[in-house]
Structure 1
Amino acid sequence: MTNRTISALLFTLLLIFESSVATMAFVQATGQDDPLLTIGGKTVDKDELIYLLSKGNKSEPGTPGMSRDEFDENLDLFINYKLKVREAEAKGLDQSEEFLKEFESFRENIKAPFLIRNSLEEGELRKAYSRMQEIIRASHILLQFPANASEEDSMIVLRMAMKIEDEIKNGGSINDLAVEYSDDPSAQINKGDLGYFTALQMVQPFEDAAFSLQPGQVSDPVLTNFGYHIINVKDRQPNPGQVRVSHILIRIDENAPNGEDLAKRKVADIYNEIQKVSTIWDDIVKNYSEDPSSSLKGGILPWFSVGSMIPEFEMAAFSLTETGEVSPPIRTRYGYHILRLEEKRPVESFESMEESIRSRILRDSRSTMIQSQVMSIQKSRYNFDENEGNVAKLRAELNTTTKSGFAQYLTEKDLAADQLFSLQGKSYIAQDLADYMAEEEISLKIKTGTFDAWYERFAASELNKAEEADLAANNKEYRMLLKEYRDGILLFSLMNEEVWQKGLMDSVAQKAFYQKNIQEYQWKGRVNAYIVKVLDMTQLDAARKILQGNPLSDELIASFESSYESTNSLAFQTESGNIEYSEHPVLSKANMNESYQELEANGHLHIVLLGEKTNAEPKKFDETRGFVIRDYQEYLDKNLIETLRKKYPVKINPKAKEETFIALNQ
């Protein structure tokens, strides 16, 4: 059987999703003209067998295809598999609460890679990771909107932002202008200089604008939730990755008139002390650092990347190049620091960062943007047509209602039959929205109004249903994968009920099977033996002194093993017990009539001590129960298949069978 043969285990589990993409070409190349099989009156398409066999195909291009015998063997296994699924359906296992819950969970997991949202998310992930290969240093000026700003207020802020932009482009210093105009509180200290940052460290519109600029360029006003920004990119560099440093912190006593000078003098003395060869860094940190969170740990700080720390500290850390290198004292708003480089590492691979990037994207405004794009594509694809007049009217009437009073208000105002939208030709009315709201046991954070919040959610829900229905109807790869999971769960349930649990739990049936097939559970001739494999030949004489000339006993074994384990535990390997000797690699060479022997086997000398022999005899049930259960389960499985073949007659379509064989060998 080659690696293209479908094993029984494959049909038992059927839960290998990762290779499904590789089968897409096979799935798309097949048709559904004639069924391959009819099982108890139900048809089975050849696509299904091609899909499953292609999924297990690991052959290199150019290798021989599947032989007739292999194909027939696989077809027979496939028929057994489909018979069991047919029986599971007949027993109603596909309607059980347990099945429905498990299948729905699988459906949610496997549909994700096929959805529109996934491709959009993937694009954002790749864009974010690509941007992470660079760091940008920029300055900005922020102009915020006044509280409860009107449209006119917003225009005034925008005109001011454009005026400042022109000043900068005409030679004005963005840093000086930031001190004068910026509403960012930190601008009075940093003059608008944000230091270096990379992707996912700024709000999305700011990031998009910054990464579109080259050093020296100034942006048009950029609107974010904070207001309008003018951005001036100063520098772009490759991302240095992450750094880990330890540090010494000397704080400045703001209440002392000469606090700055005292701190500066102290950190200078410490720095001079560090230059001495005899100085131990950990001792200096422990004795002098005023950072209680790190001083007892050698000053070690967590790994950090660009944009994670205050700029002065960050720049000093990333300027260190050699492990153990110590920086001159630097000043931050926390005081004076001396840094020592512990380790650096480059930007991690996309695969290792993927989930972290995804989590961060889904927590910021990109998530809302992606959802908006998803709905836009869905609306276009599935012919979404909103009744704008009715929606505007319902918004005006219902935005101030509560969720609990929504349905009653609809009835009182005779609005329940008003159309909201049509989707794929089906009309949805206000009552449908009310019914949806009643079924949802959640409370939304209402930012606009009750109608707007719930209408958006309802429309998204129906659009998602339309997309999933479209997947199931028109995406053959998804449909095949869904069927594979469904049938796999049913197969598992039937086998668990009819074979595995029955074979495992029915001890009476196990013993009856054991008695009926006792000839299969026989000991061959055995001998009580102790085998010592000599690994260190210098210890051979010591072993002989203890073992030679003494009858085999538990006391002798214990004495020998305690003696060599305490002096040279690697000198010997041992094996003991009542062992079948006819096929044993060492005992098969032994003379059963000699109690002490030395034998060569597999390149090693073995000392063999023999005791009492036992002739061939049946194994006791408890000695072989595990094998009995295994064999009994195989027996139950075989009987189940024989019963199902009688219960559900199998008809094979010769033409479709030949087409399947050809498709698998193309």
Structure 2
Amino acid sequence: MNKRWLIALTVSFLFLQASSQPLFTYGKYTGETSDFLRAFNKNNAQTSKDKSKAMKDYLDLYINSRLKIQEAYARGYDTLAQIKSEVDNLRSQIIDKYMNDPAAETRLVNEAFQRSLKDIHVGHIFVSFTSPSGAIDKAAADKKLNKIITRLNKGEDFFKVATDASDEPASNTQKGDLGYVTLMSLPYAIENIIYKLPVGKVSKPFTSKAGYHFFKNLGERKAVGKIKAQQILLAIPPSADGETKKKIGLRADSLYSRIMAGGDFSLLAAEFSNDYISAATGGNIPDISVGQYDAEFEKNIWGLSKDGAVSKPFLTNHGFHIVKRISVKPVVTDPGDKTNMDDLKQRISFDDRWKTAGDFIYERVKSKAGFRKLNYNETALWAYSDSILESKPIGNGRIINTDTKLFTIGDTTIPVTQWIAYAQAFRYKADRSGLKAYPDLMDEFTKNAMHEYYRSHLEEFNEEFRIQMSEFRDGNLFFEIMQQEIWNRTQNDSSALLSLYQKNKDKYHWQPSADAIIFFSSDAATARSYHDQLKKEPSSWKKVAESISEKGVADSARFEWGQIPGLENTTPVAGAVTSLVINPTDNTASFAYIVKVYTSPAPRTFNEARGLVMNDYQAWLEEQWIKDLRKKYPVVVNQKQLQRIAK
């Protein structure tokens, strides 16, 4: 192995090993290295020099925050209605984002891209479950299926078997030839079979709701993309006899001759085409990809060799067509084309393959939480279900009741009462053509239960989701306990603030300052108009301050010189307007009008010093509280671990 790779792998292994070890303990609780590193990297993104010092300094702040959050849990703040509501609201807002597996999404997009590069010529044999009389006759279908398998296994020609035996309505004219298909031409389950078939091979029978299917890969080609075209359709009525069809064919020939003589295709389509939707737009039809239309139609339209070419009239089950090629859009072959990949992802989200992106849930629930089917009599359960849902005699369903347990997921047990509720809501087929079979409905119910378990326990399955929810909950708890323990006390304990001020009067002094009005605006243009007005007429400052719009604020107070925008280390002058200061990052702007100047330091009154006193009192409260918390939750830092990660 390359030495550089070996060193890199060794470093990565050691880092992962270090990240998995605790960094500190506080009481009986553990501070994980990975959690600390995630917080450090998020809040110290610009740290480049002396990382070791920055990390050690941040660790002290991080430990203090964990102590406060743990105390909030100890006080039961996580059960407060407001906290629970905010956490639940966030969960409902973000959970759907995490219910799909990113790896599955990526796999589906990459698979779709690879399949989009290739068209496959497909043969098809179909055995219907429905008899000619319209009745469901699966036994007859099975018998016919076995005969077809025997003929194919003997090497008989696929198209001969299709012509003789396929129940496909078009089999007599197409002889089992579906033509070319491409990505998303067919249902995903069938597409999977076809795209995995080697050229010349026939698939095993595939069972659909309608019957059995055989597919043969007749050949492959590079995908041809999409074609933009116009058409004229002369439809043949279902009851048309041979003479009528002949007349329609002659009319098609006449239209073709007019087009070849220079007739306007769009005008002729608008006048004569029986495809009334496209006729309204001069014969323009939506872009066509392979496998969308009748095989004969696609053969003719893709047979046009250049833009502007017009086909001779040709016949399909719909009637006589004349088509004109406008342009061809080739398939995108670059996997780095973001627009194309995003388009594929969008198409996949509306395709039946998207359902498979969520199938990982069932395996993950089984492997991580555990799934166990319990012992119950299925026949009795179906009888019991009939008695509830269909008011039928209960029979041997008497051994089942609403508390009978069906299966467990993790530590959750699913009883019959939940099954009945689900069956009442979802027992009909989607097309309302009848009832679902109980075994199929039970399979749906079981998957739904696993899906709901996964959703309600997502923190146990998805680390990123767990972290986001944990950080949000802890942030709310931190705010709540700081509000109760520090901020409210600072706001409300006036006597303590006054006492602190009186003990430290010498600390609270004005540096050189000025009474001033600071004008601030959310956009520079508005600020400039105020500034220009005051520069011309400084005495109008009251009028300007009173007329300020919603885009501006005027703040009147005493400010130390360093707090006044636009002063730029100069001595302020009463009646002067400072320079306009524009923030280039957000286009906000500010300046000041100087009312009165104080050049010498002076003591602050209690009211003037109140903000500074509150800051000092808050710092003192927090310092005392942290001492108490560290007594309650003794902190021990793993110094060796800290040295490892601080390198």
TM-score (norm 2): 0.61
Counterpart residue identity of residue 157, structure 1: K
TM-score (norm 1): 0.60
5+ residue gaps in structure 2? 1-11, 334-338, 429-434, 493-507, 520-534, 538-563, 571-591, 599-610
1-structure distance, mates of 2:145, 2:289:
34
Aligned match of 2:256 = 267
- Specify whether residues 48 and 189 from structure 1 end up closer, same or farther in structure 2 by C-alpha distance, changes over 3 A only: same
Are the equivalent residues in 2 in contact too, given 1:35–1:46 (CA < 8 A)? yes
| 1:241-320 equivalence runs, <5 A | 241=225, 243-251=226-234, 258-273=247-262, 291-295=275-279, 297=281, 299-318=283-302
Aligned match of 1:341 = 327
Q: What is the Cα deviation at residue 45 of structure 1?
A: 1.1
Over aligned residue pairs, what C-alpha RMSD do you find? 5.9
| 1:89-100 equivalence runs, <5 A | 89=73, 92-95=76-79, 96=81, 97-100=84-87
- Specify whether residues 417 and 258 from structure 1 end up closer, same or farther in structure 2 by C-alpha distance, changes over 3 A only: closer
Q: What is the Cα deviation at residue 188 of structure 1?
A: 3.4
Aligned match of 2:128 = 144
Aligned match of 1:621 = none
Counterpart residue identity of residue 224, structure 1: S
Given candidates 449, 464, 477, the residue that maps to 1:461 is 449
Are the equivalent residues in 1 in contact too, given 2:199–2:220 (CA < 8 A)? yes
Q: What is the Cα deviation at residue 187 of structure 1?
A: 2.2
Are the equivalent residues in 1 in contact too, given 2:361–2:454 (CA < 8 A)? no
Aligned match of 2:415 = 433
Q: What is the Cα deviation at residue 52 of structure 1?
A: 1.2
Aligned match of 1:238 = 222
Given candidates 347, 354, 370, the residue that maps to 1:356 is 347
1-structure distance, mates of 2:593, 2:399:
98
- Specify whether residues 153 and 24 from structure 1 end up closer, same or farther in structure 2 by C-alpha distance, changes over 3 A only: farther
2-structure distance, mates of 1:497, 1:295:
71
Aligned match of 2:311 = 328
Q: What is the Cα deviation at residue 71 of structure 1?
A: 0.7
1-structure distance, mates of 2:518, 2:373:
85
| 1:415-454 equivalence runs, <5 A | 420=406, 432-437=414-419, 443-445=425-427, 447=435, 453-454=441-442
The yes-or-no answer on 1:659 pairing with 2:641 is yes
The yes-or-no answer on 1:102 pairing with 2:75 is no
Are the equivalent residues in 1 in contact too, given 2:25–2:637 (CA < 8 A)? no
Deviations 1:122-173 (A, max 9, x none): 6566545433332111122212124565674343122222244257x33x36
Aligned match of 1:195 = 179
| 1:635-646 equivalence runs, <5 A | 645=626
Aligned match of 2:143 = 156
2-structure distance, mates of 1:319, 1:631:
84
Secondary structure of the structure 1 residue equivalent to 2:59 = helix
Q: How many residues align?
A: 529
2-structure distance, mates of 1:125, 1:356:
10
| 1:492-507 equivalence runs, <5 A | 492=476, 495=479
1-structure distance, mates of 2:97, 2:374:
34
Are the equivalent residues in 1 in contact too, given 2:188–2:353 (CA < 8 A)? no
Are the equivalent residues in 1 in contact too, given 2:23–2:642 (CA < 8 A)? no
Q: What is the Cα deviation at residue 374 of structure 1?
A: 6.2
Deviations 1:359-384 (A, max 9, x none): 423577x68xx85x865675577665
Given candidates 68, 75, 78, the residue that maps to 2:59 is 75
Are the equivalent residues in 1 in contact too, given 2:312–2:322 (CA < 8 A)? yes
| 1:410-559 equivalence runs, <5 A | 413=399, 420=406, 432-437=414-419, 443-445=425-427, 447=435, 453-454=441-442, 457-458=445-446, 461=449, 465=453, 472=460, 478-479=462-463, 482-492=466-476, 495=479
The yes-or-no answer on 1:229 pairing with 2:213 is yes
Secondary structure of the structure 1 residue equivalent to 2:377 = helix
2-structure distance, mates of 1:166, 1:192:
17
- Specify whether residues 461 and 231 from structure 1 end up closer, same or farther in structure 2 by C-alpha distance, changes over 3 A only: closer
Q: What is the Cα deviation at residue 258 of structure 1?
A: 2.2
Deviates more, 1:129-138 or 1:198-207: 198-207
Are the equivalent residues in 2 in contact too, given 1:125–1:358 (CA < 8 A)? no
5+ residue gaps in structure 1? 1-22, 509-515, 528-550, 554-578, 589-611, 619-629
Secondary structure of the structure 1 residue equivalent to 2:311 = coil
Aligned match of 1:572 = none
Are the equivalent residues in 2 in contact too, given 1:26–1:50 (CA < 8 A)? no
Secondary structure of the structure 2 residue equivalent to 1:105 = helix
- Specify whether residues 113 and 206 from structure 1 end up closer, same or farther in structure 2 by C-alpha distance, changes over 3 A only: closer
Are the equivalent residues in 2 in contact too, given 1:83–1:644 (CA < 8 A)? no
1-structure distance, mates of 2:621, 2:301:
70
Deviations 1:15-66 (A, max 9, x none): xxxxxxxx9996665345x56253xx57341335344147649999xx9786
Q: What is the Cα deviation at residue 236 of structure 1?
A: 0.8
2-structure distance, mates of 1:632, 1:247:
81
Aligned match of 1:513 = none
Aligned match of 2:585 = none
Are the equivalent residues in 1 in contact too, given 2:185–2:291 (CA < 8 A)? yes
The yes-or-no answer on 1:211 pairing with 2:195 is yes
- Specify whether residues 663 and 166 from structure 1 end up closer, same or farther in structure 2 by C-alpha distance, changes over 3 A only: same
Secondary structure of the structure 2 residue equivalent to 1:341 = strand
Aligned match of 1:16 = none
1-structure distance, mates of 2:458, 2:517:
67
Are the equivalent residues in 1 in contact too, given 2:65–2:478 (CA < 8 A)? no
- Specify whether residues 151 and 496 from structure 1 end up closer, same or farther in structure 2 by C-alpha distance, changes over 3 A only: same
Aligned match of 1:184 = 168
Deviations 1:416-445 (A, max 9, x none): 776655777x795xxx51243477697122
- Specify whether residues 387 and 189 from structure 1 end up closer, same or farther in structure 2 by C-alpha distance, changes over 3 A only: same
Are the equivalent residues in 1 in contact too, given 2:304–2:311 (CA < 8 A)? no
Counterpart residue identity of residue 102, structure 1: N
Are the equivalent residues in 2 in contact too, given 1:93–1:490 (CA < 8 A)? no
Ranked by relative contact order (alpha carbons within 8 Å, sequence separation 6 or more), the top structure is: 1
Counterpart residue identity of residue 415, structure 2: L
Secondary structure of the structure 2 residue equivalent to 1:194 = strand
Are the equivalent residues in 2 in contact too, given 1:326–1:341 (CA < 8 A)? no
Q: What is the Cα deviation at residue 299 of structure 1?
A: 4.6
Aligned match of 1:596 = none
Secondary structure of the structure 2 residue equivalent to 1:236 = strand
2-structure distance, mates of 1:647, 1:404:
67
Are the equivalent residues in 1 in contact too, given 2:117–2:331 (CA < 8 A)? no
Are the equivalent residues in 1 in contact too, given 2:145–2:212 (CA < 8 A)? yes
1-structure distance, mates of 2:620, 2:464:
29
Are the equivalent residues in 1 in contact too, given 2:69–2:477 (CA < 8 A)? no
1-structure distance, mates of 2:14, 2:174:
58
2-structure distance, mates of 1:410, 1:86:
56
- Specify whether residues 43 and 423 from structure 1 end up closer, same or farther in structure 2 by C-alpha distance, changes over 3 A only: closer
The yes-or-no answer on 1:135 pairing with 2:128 is no
Are the equivalent residues in 1 in contact too, given 2:126–2:168 (CA < 8 A)? yes
Given candidates 31, 35, 42, the residue that maps to 1:45 is 31
2-structure distance, mates of 1:258, 1:636:
101
